[in-house]
Amino acid sequence: MATIVPHLSSPSTYRDQQYQGTRSQLQNELGNSTTIYVGNLSFFTSEEQIYELFQKCGEIKRIIMGLDRIQKTPCGFCFVEYYHHQDAVDCMKYVNGTKLDERIIRTDLDPGFKEGRQFGRGRSGGQVRDEYRQEYDPGRGGWGHIRARQEREREKEQKANYEAITTIPQGASLDYSGRRPTPSNKRGRQEMDSPLASKRVKDEAQNPRFRESDEKSDEEDDMQA
């Protein structure tokens, strides 16, 4: 009998692009499969947590954690193998859509685990879906790779602009390289900054005769010489 709402144990329409068989072969394998694919896991969910949840549907044969191809760290998926097909079907009924580590996980019947499928297929080593994620997700490594790349480019641009401001422009290094403050200017500045020099300037400003007496004494010294 046809139904509007699909059965909870029905597999999704997703098909693994690396599956070598035909569509009919895939349907036959799913009809007898004992393997469940689990997605949308947190990077910090442990194998013990997965075992505790999925053993409620039946005896588990093994759990294969999905790993980053480069860093060999968890990257948000796993495979759960049962001993019996009915246990995998019950898992689809009762575990799919539940919350684990504050995340809504999804399960799907899988034709069977093969060596190599435990590694992420993204260019950066993780899952492909994380390559296009732009929002912040603390459970899956923070920013997606697109946003992380944008942040790196922004920091690189800011660093380049800052270095351009703090460095001497090209062509001006020859004009400034050999310049040093002259000793006379430096000595004159020190003399003007001394207390005696400032007192003399103050006296000259207040009493004009003080300047005249100094000038006469200078002339007398020149005549005696």
Q: Say whether pTM exceeds 0.85.
A: no
- Segment among 60-69, 102-111, 119-128, 142-151 with least mean pLDDT: 142-151
Q: Provide the token pair at 90.
A: 């019950």
In three-state secondary structure terms, 179 is coil
Q: In whole angstroms, what is the distance from residue 55 CA to residue 113 CA?
A: 19
Q: How many residues does the chain have?
A: 225
Helices (H) and strands (E) in the chain, counts: 8, 6
Percent of the chain with pLDDT over 90: 40
Contact 65, 73 (CB under 8 A): no
Distances (CA, A) of 36 to 11, 89, 96, 105, 184: 10, 9, 10, 12, 88
Note the pLDDT tens digit of each residue in 186-199. 555 555 555 666 66
What digits encode the pLDDT tens for the residues 54-105? 999 999 999 999 999 999 999 999 999 999 999 999 999 999 999 999 999 9
Report the half-sphere exposure of 13 (CA within 13 A, side-chain side). 1
Strand partners, 80: 36, 63
Report the C-alpha gap between 144 and 31 in whole angstroms. 36
For residues 173-181, average pLDDT: 55
